[in-house]
Homo-oligomer: A and B are copies of this chain.
Amino acid sequence: MKRSEPFSCSLAELADRLGATLVGDGERRVSGLATLSDAGPDDISFLANKAYLKYLTQTRAAAVLIHPAHGGECPVARLELDNPYLAYAELSRLFDPMAAPDAGGVHPSAVVAGDAVLGRDVTIAANAVIESGVELGDGVSVGPGCVIGADSVVGDGSRLHANVTLYHGVVVGKRAILHSGCVIGADGFGFAHDGRGWHKIAQLGGVVLGDDVEVGSCSSIDRGALGDTVIGDDVKIDSQVQIAHNVQVGDHSALAGCVGIAGSTKVGRHCLLGGGVGLSGHLTICDGVQVTGMSLVTNSITEPGVYSSGTGAMSNALWRKNAVRFKQLDDIAKRLSRLERGSTG
């Protein structure tokens, strides 16, 4: 990857770009982005959460992105706007030294099949392998050590970081970001049992990722058994996630680290799955569902809302006592009912 020149910008320019109302010296320049407590006099910062108001009064930042409601409490220059967190996201990309497009070109050590089709300004880094029939759109960047299997397609502007693996026949949309170690299109886990042992079910489907998908490091998205595993547009997938064969994830959903989704489950649009959440197979989760961390979902969900399972952590001594009682819970409930009948009878 290529590192761009250091970025510097005046507050007036930033306000203009972000559509913010500037209160302070528009000529002042900033060259970095930092938290309220870490920011120095060349940095811009942001207040996106009231919990951090305590750091506002002492910030040394040149300026702060802030909601108008808190503008009066800001001791330095400020850029007022309705969604400071969104503005921070935009600034973060502006200040990203790695955001410059890669230089383009195919490293001599890369192995690219003669019939692969490369768009304009494609970068293929050292020791990458591009198999037969692959199509890479304009501006695609393939990191060192990546392997793209036969007949896979990667859309314009997508970036594969180092050591990503795509199997054959995988379709990746535009502007995807695939992080190192992720594997798209490995066989789903399908076997038939003959009473003695297992017989492999060849996984004949593929994987289709929509546009603007991000997949974290070391995550797995398996190919379909028959038909495809489908990830919608703008779906964000964290690290260490497993998505089994024929799963569908709707547009704009986000899956935090260590999520596991079993085969053929359909997750709706705008869903949020917390870290370590598990979904059983063949479920349907409707749009707008949030599941909190490490919950297990074994039934379909038909109403938007927040769902949970499990128990919170406590001291092990207390937990041991309670966990034993959990095994008696049905008995406890029945005894309670009996008592109630007795006391009212």
A residues at B contact (CB < 8 Å): 1, 3, 33-35, 38, 83, 85-86, 88-90, 92-93, 95-99, 107, 109, 111, 125-127, 129, 131, 143-145, 147, 149-151, 161-163, 165, 167-168, 177, 179-183, 186-187, 189-194, 196-204, 212, 214, 216-220, 222, 225-227, 234, 236, 238-242, 244, 251-252, 254, 256-258, 260, 262, 275-276, 278, 280, 290-299, 301, 305-330, 332-333, 335-336, 339-340, 342-343
Contact = CB atoms under 8 A, between A and B. Distances in A.
Nearest to A125: B129
Nearest to A290: B316
B238 A189 contact: yes
A162 B149 contact: yes
A68 B322 CA distance: 40
A251 B196 CA distance: 10
Given A90-B199, A258-B278, A260-B258, A165 B150 contact: no
Contact of A180 (B85, B167, B298): B167
B275 A181 contact: no
A314 B310 contact: no
Nearest to A49: B282
B201 A92 contact: yes
A186 to B, nearest CB: 4
B256 A258 contact: no
B177 A187 contact: yes
Count this chain's copies in the assembly: 3
A276 B254 contact: no
A240 B239 contact: no
Given A256-B189, A308-B319, A318-B327, A38 B226 contact: yes
B144 A147 contact: yes
Contact of A292 (B111, B256, B316, B318): B316
B191 A254 contact: yes
A315 B307 contact: yes
A236 to B, nearest CB: 6
A275 B258 contact: no
Contacts of A327: 311-312, 314, 318, 322
Contact of A33 (B226, B234, B316): B226
B332 A313 contact: no
A324 B330 contact: yes
Contacts of A291: 313
A122 to B, nearest CB: 18
Given A89-B191, A198-B254, 14 more contacts: A1-B149, A88-B192, A92-B204, A92-B226, A179-B187, A181-B218, A187-B216, A218-B240, A258-B258, A262-B293, A295-B313, A307-B319, A312-B326, A339-B343
Q: Top 8 nearest A-B pairs by Cβ distance?
A: A96-B202, A89-B192, A321-B330, A306-B316, A147-B162, A183-B217, A308-B319, A186-B217
